[in-house]
Amino acid sequence: MNNPPWPNGKKVVHLDLKGAPPKVEYLYQLIECFSRLGADSLLVEYEDMFPYEGALKLLQATAQPAYSRDLILSMQKVAQSKGMEVIPLVQTFGHMEFVLKHRPMWSLREVSNCVGTLNPHKEEGLKLVMEMLRQVVELHPGLKTLHIGADEVYMLGEGEMSKLWLASPGHTVEQLFLTHVVSVVKYIKQAWPHMTIIMWDDMMRGMSHDTLKASGIVGLVQPMLWDYTPNLDVEKTVLLLEKYYSAGMQDMWAASSFKGSTSVHTNVPSTQRHVENHLQWLKVAASVSSVLNIRGIAMTGWQRYDHLSVLCELMPVALPSLAACLQTLIHGQFSLEAENQVTKMLGVSSVEAESMGSTFDDATLFPGRKLAESIVELDSLLCVEDIRSFETNMYVRGWFSPYHRSRRMANPLITVQIQSQASTYLALLQQKIDVVREEMIHLYPDSAAQEWIDEHVSPVIAPLQRIIDEITECTIEIVPENHFSSQH
């Protein structure tokens, strides 16, 4: 059974800047591309790339400069010229790692070892959030919609002040959560009465509709239900939407995913997996009562799981997935027609990045294509079992074990073969790494390229290099020097 296309409402692409923030020209190319692929809004999670000023200046990124004020204004102009609305996302409760990691902010953590969660009892914590919101809203002239995050508020209720508060009769962690969010939302409504406010829904999933009703949150905020799995439970999600509706929340949003949700360190996304997630969301949209207003769907593209985790799939390798997901929403299914539309729009022969091939070389169709191709090549090489587990192959384990290395005593005939094989792999990898680095620094800051290589490539290269070096040291101990000179 085919689903109807995604109902009216926004098709929002999430731009997560908490890792590998695109350079200016590339950012503009991406916005243009998102628009061409069928998106009409941009959910921008600035994190430390926002040019916070005054007392908040310390929140700015140090690995590379934060975006300038001018860039943020011109980015909005580029988006608006394509008819796209820009919606900033500012975390106000959980996932505040980029704020609370700074020593002057340590005292504002709910518990000392949880860098993400704000202590909801401290006046200065609330002031900090208000000031962040003020600076972001002021740099977005005419802003209509704001996302306040509020997902995954880990360890809430575990802090000393919270324990004291929870000791009072009738006080619950749910109320603790809602009280803080209501304070934030009321501040926003007071400062900008016409602002639409969105928040992630996960902290409210277990709450009864009575709890939600009593909190005063209803009518002030619109929940965004997120589920990024290919086997999303349609029935459960519909019930959740209906619960929010019965509490009085008429406007809701969905959030799917086109990248950054497979595993914390994935390099190349599976388009199939993300398309399946969107097909499930289409079923949800087709199953809910028409009185319920789904305002749009945000297609998330996480760049890290959180501020302190590793980089996952970069935007260029995820464009085929994004295009396929958007066409799935537009057609109501991932039909042959939808697939042809994607291959035509990006100039590829397959919607899977791993086998996308090239139909014709038009860089404007697919910004970052060369980087995408070189990452796919390098990633497949990094996954080769013989390279990945070189240290545990039979020859290394049998003739060049830690025991042999520590005693500098090993069979030279075999170690020279091991060394030659390791050198071949290393040269092969190095060649691909150079291409990736060269392409990456066109589109991303040098720091992002370095981080990506340190994270995804160095752990595979290091053991190979180590074995080569140790065999050289060992050979000196066991083969006469003149053997080498007589070889030449």
CA 137 to CA 317: how far, in whole Å?
Answer: 32
CA 223 to CA 217: how far, in whole Å?
Answer: 10
SS3 at position 160: helix
SS3 at position 16: strand
- Of 85, 152, 242, 377, which one is the catalytic site residue? 152
* Bridge partner list, 12: 41, 298
Helices (H), 263-393: 271-287, 315-331, 336-346, 369-382, 385-388
What stretch of H or E contains 443? helix 412-443
* Bridge partner list, 297: 11, 254
Tokens of 12: 């929002």
Radius of gyration of the chain from Cα atoms?
26
| 454-470 as b/e: b if 16+ CB within 10 A | eebbeebbebbeebbeb
Look up 152 and say whether it is catalytic. yes
Could you tell me if residue 142 is left (phi over 0), alpha (psi between -120 and 50 degrees) or otherwise beta? left
Would you please indicate which residues are annotated as catalytic (active-site) residues?
Answer: 152
